[in-house]
C-alpha cells in the first residue's frame, strides 16, 4: 500500500510482545510512529485542556479522532471543507486515526440494523450508514480509519445476536474496502463479544481481507479490563504477525503492559485526560523499583499537603509544567478553579504517558521489559490474575 507500512523490528519467541514501526507519509515526508505506542485521545478533534501550540512541546505523533464528535449536523459541516481533516483541525504533521465512536465511553446505544449504526452526539442520536461513513472518510482523508462495527451493549447477548454482529461487521468492512479511495488505510474491527468461536471467526475472516491493521474492540463489553483483555487474547492468536493491532479500553499503565505482553501495538489513550480531570498527576515509572505499590502511580494535587510543596510534580521530568512550576502552584490553581491548573496537569500527564511508552520501547529493546513490567504489574495488585511466562527469547528482524 502506498505511503503506509508496518515494520516488525523485534518479536519474542514464543510470539507475544513486539517492537515495531508504523511508517506513513505526511506532507510528502516519511514519518514514523514507533510501537508500542498510543493514539492520543481527542474531543472534537482537540486534545482536552491543550491548544495546538501547547501540543508542539509534547512529543505527540498520532491522534485518535472520533466521528461522533462531529455529527451534530448530518452530513457534518466539516465535510464541506475540502482541504482534509488534518488541515481543518490544524494537525497537519500528525498521524490521524479515525473511528465512528468514542472509545473512552463505555456506555453506548446499540440500536443498529443491517444498514446503519446509531451514534450519540450532543444533539441526540444519529444514524450512520457505511456509505456515509466512507464518503466522509474520503473527504476527511485521515491516514487510517477503523471500519464500522456492530457493537452490542446487551450484557448477555445470544449466540445468534453475536453471529449477526460479526457478519454485519464483515459485510460493512467489504463495502468499505470497495468504496474507499487509494491512500487511506483501513483497519478491520475484530468483534465476537464474549463468544469464543465468534471471536476466532471474526479474527480469521478479518485477517483474510485486505486490511492494513486490526482494532480489537472491547468497549462494547461491560467488563473489567482484565476480562476484556482475556477476550482479546482469543482474537490475537488468529491475527497475522505482520500487521499492527490497536486495542481499546486498556489505558491504565498496568493494562498497557499486560496488553503489550499479548502482542498489542497501539492503545487508545484517554487515560492522561481522565486523570487530569481528577486533579491527578502521573508519577509511575517503568524501571526496576519504579513503583512499589498502587499508591505511587499518581499524586492527587487536590490534597492539602501540597499547599506548601515547592517541588516539581516529578523530579527529573522534562515537561513544561515540571520545568517551570511547583506542586504548590498547581494546588493553588486547582483550588481557585483556574483553567491553567488542568493545562499544566495535562501537559505533564500526556508528556509522562508518552514517556512511559518510550521507556517500554527502550526496555523491549534492551531485553529488560519482562522483569520491569512484571514488577510494575505486581505492585499494581493484579498479579494473581495474570499469566506471564518470564522466559522469552528475542528475535530481531
Q: Is 238 annotated as a binding residue?
A: no
In the complex, the smallest distance separating the C-beta of residue 275 from Zn ion, rounded to whole angstroms, is 13
Question: What x-and-dash track marks residues 267-306 binding Zn ion by CB under 5 A?
Answer: ----------------------------------------
Q: Of 24-32, 107-115, 153-161, 309-317, which part binds Zn ion (CB under 5 A)? A: 309-317
Q: Is 348 annotated as a binding residue?
A: yes
In the complex, the smallest distance separating the C-beta of residue 295 from Zn ion, rounded to whole angstroms, is 19
* Chain residues 328-387 in contact with Zn ion, contact rule CB under 5 A: 348
Phi, psi of 246 (to 5 degrees): -105, 140
Q: Is 125 annotated as a binding residue?
A: no
Which residue, 353 or 369, is less far from Zn ion as judged by CB? 353
187, with CB counted inside 10 A (0-12, 13-18, 19+), is buried
**How many residues form the binding site for Zn ion (CB under 5 A)?**
4
CB atoms within 10 A of CB 380: 21
DSSP 154-202: -SS--HHHHHHHHHHHHHHHHHHHHHSPTT-EEEEEE--TT-HHHHHHH
**DSSP code for 312:** -
Q: Single out the residue of 184, 322, 334, 345 in contact with Zn ion (rule: CB under 5 A).
A: 322
Q: Single out the residue of 319, 334, 341, 379 in contact with Zn ion (rule: CB under 5 A).
A: 319
* Chain residues 129-158 in contact with Zn ion, contact rule CB under 5 A: none
In the complex, the smallest distance separating the C-beta of residue 380 from Zn ion, rounded to whole angstroms, is 21
In the complex, the smallest distance separating the C-beta of residue 279 from Zn ion, rounded to whole angstroms, is 15
In the complex, the smallest distance separating the C-beta of residue 320 from Zn ion, rounded to whole angstroms, is 8
Does residue 168 interact with Zn ion by CB under 5 A? no
What is the number of alpha carbons within 13 Å of residue 395 lying toward its C-beta?
Answer: 9
Q: Give the list of residues 6+ apart from residue 229 with CB closer than 8 angstroms, or none.
A: 218, 250, 255, 258, 259, 262
DSSP 223-284: S-HHHHHHHHHHHHTTS-TTS-EEESS--SHHHHHHHHHTT--EEEE-HHHHHHHTTEEE--
Annotated binding-site residue numbers for Zn(2+):
317, 319, 322, 348
Interface residues toward Zn ion, by CB under 5 A:
317, 319, 322, 348
Amino acid at each position: 500500500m502506498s505511503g503506509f507500512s508496518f515494520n516488525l523490528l523485534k518479536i519474542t519467541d514464543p510470539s507475544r510482545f513486539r517492537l515495531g514501526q508504523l511508517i506513513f507519509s505526511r506532507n510528502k515526508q516519511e514519518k514514523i510512529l514507533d510501537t508500542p505506542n498510543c493514539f492520543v485521545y481527542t474531543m472534537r478533534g482537540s486534545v482536552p485542556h491543550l491548544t495546538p501550540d501547547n501540543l508542539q512541546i509534547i512529543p505527540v505523533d498520532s491522534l485518535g479522532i472520533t466521528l461522533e464528535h462531529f455529527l451534530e449536523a448530518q452530513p457534518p459541516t466539516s465535510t464541506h471543507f475540502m482541504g482534509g481533516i488534518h488541515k481543518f483541525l490544524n494537525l497537519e504533521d500528525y498521524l490521524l486515526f479515525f473511528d465512528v465512536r468514542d472509545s473512552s465511553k463505555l456506555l453506548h446505544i446499540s440500536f443498529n440494523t443491517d444498514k446503519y449504526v446509531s451514534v450519540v452526539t450532543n444533539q441526540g442520536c444519529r444514524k450512520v450508514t457505511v456509505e456515509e461513513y466512507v464518503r466522509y472518510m474520503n473527504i476527511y482523508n485521515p491516514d487510517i480509519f477503523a471500519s464500522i462495527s456492530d457493537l452490542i451493549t446487551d450484557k448477555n447477548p445470544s449466540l445468534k445476536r453475536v453471529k449477526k454482529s460479526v457478519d454485519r461487521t464483515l459485510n460493512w468492512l467489504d463495502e468499505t474496502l470497495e468504496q474507499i479511495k487509494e491512500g487511506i488505510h483501513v483497519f478491520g474491527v475484530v468483534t465476537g463479544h464474549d463468544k469464543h468461536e465468534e471471536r476466532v471467526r471474526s479474527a480469521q475472516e478479518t485477517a483474510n481481507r485486505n486490511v492494513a491493521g486490526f482494532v480489537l474492540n472491547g468497549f462494547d463489553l461491560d467488563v473489567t479490563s482484565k476480562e476484556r483483555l482475556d477476550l482479546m487474547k482469543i482474537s490475537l492468536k488468529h491475527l497475522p504477525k505482520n500487521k499492527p493491532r490497536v486495542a481499546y479500553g486498556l489505558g491504565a499503565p498496568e493494562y498497557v503492559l499486560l496488553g503489550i505482553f499479548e502482542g498489542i501495538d497501539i492503545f487508545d489513550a484517554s487515560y492522561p485526560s481522565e486523570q487530569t480531570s481528577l486533579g491527578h498527576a502521573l508519577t509511575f515509572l517503568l524501571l526496576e523499583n519504579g513503583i512499589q505499590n498502587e499508591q505511587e502511580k499518581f499524586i492527587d494535587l487536590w490534597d492539602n499537603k501540597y499547599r506548601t510543596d515547592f517541588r516539581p510534580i516529578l523530579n527529573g521530568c522534562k515537561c513544561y509544567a515540571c520545568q517551570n512550576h511547583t506542586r504548590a502552584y498547581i494546588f493553588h490553581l486547582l483550588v481557585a478553579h483556574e483553567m491553567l491548573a488542568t493545562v499544566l496537569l495535562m501537559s505533564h500527564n500526556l508528556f509522562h504517558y508518552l514517556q512511559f511508552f518510550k521507556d517500554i520501547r527502550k526496555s523491549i529493546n534492551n531485553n529488560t521489559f519482562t522483569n520491569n513490567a512484571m514488577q510494575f504489574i505486581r505492585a499494581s495488585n493484579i498479579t494473581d490474575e495474570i499469566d506471564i511466562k518470564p522466559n522469552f527469547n528475542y528475535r530481531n528482524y
